[in-house]
Structure 1
Amino acid sequence: MFAGISQIGAVHDATRKILPPTPVRFPKCVPKTEDKFPPTRDAGSLVSLLQTVHRPADIKPLHFEALKIHVIPDASPEELIPDASFLPPSKDWDVVPQEELPEANEQTRKPLNNGNLSPGIQTYRERQKELLIDNTAAFRTIRRIPAPVGETAARLGNAYEFYKNLEFFSGYWHDTSIPPKPEPSSEETTSEEEKKDATPPHLQTHIRTGTGLQLPPDYRQNLLTAFVKLVAYDFGCNVSFPRTEPRLHLTPKKPSDPPSYFNSSVTFVYRTPKERAMARAGVVEGPVAALSARASTVFITKAEEWLDLAREVVAVLLTAQQRSREKKTEKRFGEGKWWTTTPRWGGGAGGPIGREGDKIDELAGPEKLPAAELGDVPPPPGTRVASEVKRQIGGINGPSPNKRSKKVKEGGNMQIYDNYRKMNPPGPTWDRKAKYMSIGKVEGVGYDDVFLVSALNHHICVVRARIPESLLEVLDGGEEKEWERVSMWRSKWFDMYLGKERVEAMELVWGMMAWLMRKIEGLKGPVEDEDDGDDGKAEKMDLS
């Protein structure tokens, strides 16, 4: 209802100087690693090397070399998707007549691992039609501006949320679907006819009020989420913000060395449970894929490019780490250690803490002594009568209602001190309502293909990273093993302002979801494994 309200104030401020548009830049950090890379250091020192990173300036090419990162830029869709047959055949689907879509739709749907069928050609054509809507017409619908004479208002359908967030972008980033207007010099003057033909400010659809650097980070995250939801929802998945902070845990092999972690701001694509009660309780399955929206716009130095790549590497590694938690239980940090079991102060009871000392003084004060010791001291005469008259008369509007006593219940704040005396390990880092699964993983190959949808500027790309299982074991403090290189295929950057590139990005996300949600022959799906012994795990899950 109030879309674009952030730009209303700038319409009337004609004296405000708008800075020039932010140039579009992308990082060009492409580390390469040989397939049979000879290790320069033993695998056990990998965690120690990663733990030396405390700030962005500490990131060096040595860290990518130790992880054996190998980036393949501008990969084709056939290279990104492990099985290219899951990509939508756009050339064949585009020539199907409209009246034959219902019949052809049933033939193009494939079984999924959640027991349902995948979307078909009819859903694809709907998404294609929605994403090809002209930005100006879509922004008119968002801002509730009437269409010009002879034109009909654009019907955005499922893409309404996407265009609403894209309209926010137009206030900071120049719409590349519209050729830039030459800025008149100070010497040139506009004629009266040009002023009459100009669109009034309240009917304009593209009003840039800032630069791309000033764009709030939430706008980019919301745009990426809305775009991926257009495809993921039809495959039985949804984009959800993690309830616990996503962390890449680093556990040294030596028990004496403390563990650490790298946090991240990624969001995840989760599979929605088929059971309605679990879905309504917020239970999710996965993660299926990850989403990363970053606010960086300047990539002039190598350090800035390394930082952006490091954020993507952390995102894919922690996603693979969470997918590998299937059929595992969390071991909390410090569980069973002496500093979480032995009472403080050498086992003694200890003295009072904080306000507990004040409570002891109150118990020993005169107000707690019996009336026999204090003596019978009557109140001054007339005090009780005057108080009763004041209560009945009250203020200007009559007697005031009885006010709730602000006195805290006796011992109400003392619970915090009791909690302090309890010896417990730190809180859990696993989501209690998440059923961790490696959905779409090929079993028995020794690696996991993790997908990441990355966003920069007003562009997105899809990244596929092949994470070896032996690398995850080393990060978890396991035995020292050699692992193959971590190959990362990156697609080209798709401009969300251009309809044609939006459709290309949608086709790539479609192929990603179709491959991850495919039904693997020989494995039981969530509908068939209700009696395979997992009921006990489901009963322990917190559904409150």
Structure 2
Amino acid sequence: MFGGNIWGAIAPASEALLDKERAPPPKPTPLEFPCYVPPRSDDPLDSHHLESLCKDLASVRRPWDVKDSQLAQFNIQLEQDVSLADMVPDERFKSRPLLYDSDLTSMLKELDVENEDAYREVIRLPPLPGRQKPRLAYSRAFFTSLEDMCRYWDDSKDDYYEVEVDGQEGSNTEFSPTPSTTKETEKRNAEKKETKALSGETKQTTEGTNSDGEQAEHNTSLNADRVEIPHRSKTKQVYRGLRIGSGQQMSPGTRVAAVRNLLKMAIHKFNCRDHDFHPREKFRIRNINLPSTFLHFCVAKMPAESRLARARFVEGPLMGVHSRMEVRFRPRDGSNDSPNDFVGEKYDLFREVSGLLMLAKQRAREGQTPSKEPHQDHWWALRHRWGGGPTRWGQLACEVFEDDDPSWSPEERQLQLDKRTQEEEERKRTDVLATATDLNNLKPEDLLSLETSSGNVRPKKKKKGDDDSKDKAEYKDGRRLMFTAPIRRKWYQEWTKVRPNSSTWDEKLIYRRIGVPDPEQGWDDVYMLSAANHHVCLVKLSVHENYLQWLETGNTKHQALKSGRQDHILYMTRSRWFNLLDVDQRKELLTGIWCVLSWLNRDEVPKVELEKMENLKQEQEQQESDNGGDHPMET
């Protein structure tokens, strides 16, 4: 993951790197954001449209193979740079005060702390002179992830400069050449070539003359023309700043952790928590599982029943989180990089829309249960075995007669036969005693042999559930079968059971459409936090239930009600990108997330909280009217 001379620049987490002079890291990674707007085909939701979509998706082999015609099949209407307030349809939740507004004020106060002060607090360093120690209660985990992120992205304190080194130090130290040092090296090489040319001419002149006077005169003239070259000290490039690498070298988990810790500040107040998706969860269009469609985690609600909460069950999902591992989305001018270094804007949008549709399909499973019966597409579960023929005895490894056991040697076989004969005689004697009605009719030698055999053999301990009256040996056609442990016999017989694939539904997730705008209209709003570089944006997708049904079967449930929106179009809106390293932007992002959570949980919170929010809004309006102007509350 790291390259160059970065390993020498890595310092422990409890050490400040700002004032340390060290080997320079790579140059900062330029910021790029996907801004592709796809076309639309406006085809209706019918079977022909779905067949065309599946055919186009099956032709995609590599991420950069996604084309405009394939994305046009989804009918995506994308709006970018939408304000966070417009993401919420209800006017009550578009601005503060919101639900649990006092807690939001405390969290915004913590996010208002300067980055350097927060970094010194989380790595347990004393505050700077003249600064107070910040109090980080809600945001400590977030600033811990942000401090790790700034070591790759924060170039505000970058300082590249050159220092002189000694000859011995310069020979042992590797440094990257700068334009000034390159020019000096070229000039020095030119002077060396000129000196060699002069020495060559001197040698030829000396060979052509035989007199000592002419040679001395010529050497004197050459010495007068020579110029002494001054000694130049060697330099190397060093660095001071926060970074230890470029943004491209940062681990993708650092970006996910920063978004997760920022979300945790808000979701816990609404009785929600983060939930990792099951790895079997796939986005499926008819009979095609789309690859590379994933969400890192989602926000789900804790169930009201304590028994389910202790078992780690959740309800939802409410919101998804998708973090990009790439930092490039477009080819750069004059770059010779291969297309494998970036996936492109089109595939990035395809992956983002697929994640939103997967969230919408999960929310639409409310009230449904997965069928355990094999589907008509599971042809391997409808026929008896692969070839269609019946299963016969002897095909399994455990179906072997004891006399034909291949693991026995001849000596062991003879011992087993003797043991079997002895057990058979003992069984016959026991049967004779059990069936005898008059002991006087028994012969003395029978009683004597029975007492002798029973006295020499120690009786076995009777185990729980052991029945002496039953013979554990199994017989078939009068022949004894080879003994096989029950567990091992189960393994042998598993392959004969033909069953469909296991369900892809998450067993710990109780599917609910929490916060749906109007169930009768059939529309659902799905939210997702999308991260790239050190920025985060909020994405919203409005999808009709007919669209989700069309993706499954190619048909629609019912005719959509007449409204301003059409059911065959995906209405997608994206906010602007918020910089997590900027104080004002991360505060605005947290306020927008709080607005969305308040809107989604409007029916899940106690009514007292809604009344408290309404009272705060009335007090704010009264205060604004008394002041004679509109002054929105600060975020």
Normalization by structure 2: what TM-score? 0.62
Aligned counterparts, 1:293-442, within 5 A: 293-301=323-331, 304-331=344-371, 334-335=374-375, 337-341=378-382, 342-345=384-387, 346-349=389-392, 360-363=405-408, 366-370=411-415, 415-441=490-516, 442=518
Partner Cα separation in structure 2 for residue 418 and residue 372 of structure 1: 28
Task: Report Cα offsets for 1:248-272 as digits up to 9, x if no partner.
Answer: 1111xxxxxx443444133111011
Aligned counterparts, 1:59-208, within 5 A: 59-89=66-96, 118-120=99-101, 122-174=102-154, 179-185=156-162, 207-208=242-243
Match of 1:260 among 282, 289, 296: 289
Task: Report Cα offsets for 1:458-480 as digits up to 9, x if no partner.
Answer: 11000011112211111111416
Match of 1:500 among 584, 587, 610: 584
Task: Report Cα offsets for 1:259-309 as digits up to 9, x if no partner.
Answer: 434441331110111122211101110111111111110112496111111
Aligned length: 435
Over alpha carbons, which structure has the higher Rg? 2
Task: Report Cα offsets for 1:350-380 as digits up to 9, x if no partner.
Answer: 75568999x9421466435416769xxxxxx
Deviation at 1:506, TM superposition (A): 0.6
Query: What SS class does the counterpart of residue 370 from structure 1 fall into?
Result: helix
Match of 2:302 among 272, 290, 308: 272
In structure 2, the CA distance between the partners of 1:225 and 1:355, relative to structure 1 (3 Å rule), is farther
Task: Report Cα offsets for 1:24-47 as digits up to 9, x if no partner.
Answer: 11012122548x677999333233
1:245 aligns to what? 280
Partner Cα separation in structure 1 for residue 368 and residue 58 of structure 2: 25
2:572 aligns to what? 488
Partner Cα separation in structure 1 for residue 485 and residue 493 of structure 2: 15
> Do the aligned partners of 1:80 and 1:464 also contact (CA within 8 Å) in 2?
yes
Partner Cα separation in structure 1 for residue 410 and residue 375 of structure 2: 44
In structure 2, the CA distance between the partners of 1:430 and 1:373, relative to structure 1 (3 Å rule), is same
The amino acid across from 2:94 in the alignment is: L
Partner Cα separation in structure 2 for residue 265 and residue 77 of structure 1: 22
1:527 aligns to what? none
Query: What SS class does the counterpart of residue 421 from structure 1 fall into?
Result: coil
In structure 2, the CA distance between the partners of 1:54 and 1:82, relative to structure 1 (3 Å rule), is farther
Partner Cα separation in structure 2 for residue 4 and residue 431 of structure 1: 41
Q: Does 1:42 align with 2:48?
A: yes
The amino acid across from 2:157 in the alignment is: P
2:214 aligns to what? none
Deviation at 1:78, TM superposition (A): 2.9
Query: What SS class does the counterpart of residue 431 from structure 1 fall into?
Result: coil
Query: What SS class does the counterpart of residue 245 from structure 1 fall into?
Result: coil
> Do the aligned partners of 2:45 and 2:547 also contact (CA within 8 Å) in 1?
no
Partner Cα separation in structure 2 for residue 165 and residue 487 of structure 1: 33
In structure 2, the CA distance between the partners of 1:20 and 1:445, relative to structure 1 (3 Å rule), is same
In structure 2, the CA distance between the partners of 1:53 and 1:454, relative to structure 1 (3 Å rule), is same
Q: Does 1:217 align with 2:252?
A: yes
Query: What SS class does the counterpart of residue 243 from structure 2 fall into?
Result: coil
Partner Cα separation in structure 1 for residue 500 and residue 417 of structure 2: 50
Partner Cα separation in structure 2 for residue 444 and residue 158 of structure 1: 39
Partner Cα separation in structure 2 for residue 493 and residue 142 of structure 1: 26
> Do the aligned partners of 1:59 and 1:303 also contact (CA within 8 Å) in 2?
no
Query: What SS class does the counterpart of residue 429 from structure 1 fall into?
Result: coil
In structure 2, the CA distance between the partners of 1:215 and 1:7, relative to structure 1 (3 Å rule), is farther
In structure 2, the CA distance between the partners of 1:293 and 1:338, relative to structure 1 (3 Å rule), is closer
Instruction: Report which stretch shifted further, 330-339 or 76-85.
Output: 330-339
Partner Cα separation in structure 2 for residue 4 and residue 424 of structure 1: 55
Partner Cα separation in structure 2 for residue 355 and residue 5 of structure 1: 60
Q: Report sequence identity in percent.
A: 27
Partner Cα separation in structure 1 for residue 66 and residue 534 of structure 2: 26
In structure 2, the CA distance between the partners of 1:274 and 1:362, relative to structure 1 (3 Å rule), is same
Which stretches of structure 1, 4 residues or more, deviate above 6 A after TM superposition?
6-15, 36-41, 353-357, 371-374
Instruction: Report which stretch shifted further, 80-89 or 480-489.
Output: 480-489
> Do the aligned partners of 2:117 and 2:128 also contact (CA within 8 Å) in 1?
no
Partner Cα separation in structure 2 for residue 368 and residue 492 of structure 1: 81
Query: What SS class does the counterpart of residue 448 from structure 1 fall into?
Result: strand
Match of 1:282 among 303, 312, 326: 312
Query: What SS class does the counterpart of residue 156 from structure 1 fall into?
Result: coil
The amino acid across from 1:146 in the alignment is: P
Deviation at 1:221, TM superposition (A): 1.0
1:226 aligns to what? 261
Query: What SS class does the counterpart of residue 67 from structure 1 fall into?
Result: coil
1:461 aligns to what? 537
Partner Cα separation in structure 1 for residue 572 and residue 593 of structure 2: 16
Deviation at 1:49, TM superposition (A): 3.2
Normalization by structure 1: what TM-score? 0.71
Query: What SS class does the counterpart of residue 344 from structure 2 fall into?
Result: helix
1:509 aligns to what? 593
The amino acid across from 1:507 in the alignment is: T
In structure 2, the CA distance between the partners of 1:356 and 1:180, relative to structure 1 (3 Å rule), is farther
Task: Report Cα offsets for 1:515-534 as digits up to 9, x if no partner.
Answer: 1111299xxxxxxxxxxxxx
Deviation at 1:7, TM superposition (A): 8.8
Deviation at 1:219, TM superposition (A): 1.2
Partner Cα separation in structure 2 for residue 54 and residue 13 of structure 1: 48
Deviation at 1:314, TM superposition (A): 0.7
Partner Cα separation in structure 1 for residue 83 and residue 18 of structure 2: 43
The amino acid across from 1:241 in the alignment is: D
In structure 2, the CA distance between the partners of 1:352 and 1:484, relative to structure 1 (3 Å rule), is closer
- Provide structure 1 residue ranges, at least 5 long, that are not aligned to the other structure: 94-107, 109-117, 190-203, 252-257, 375-408, 522-544
In structure 2, the CA distance between the partners of 1:419 and 1:153, relative to structure 1 (3 Å rule), is farther
Deviation at 1:137, TM superposition (A): 1.1
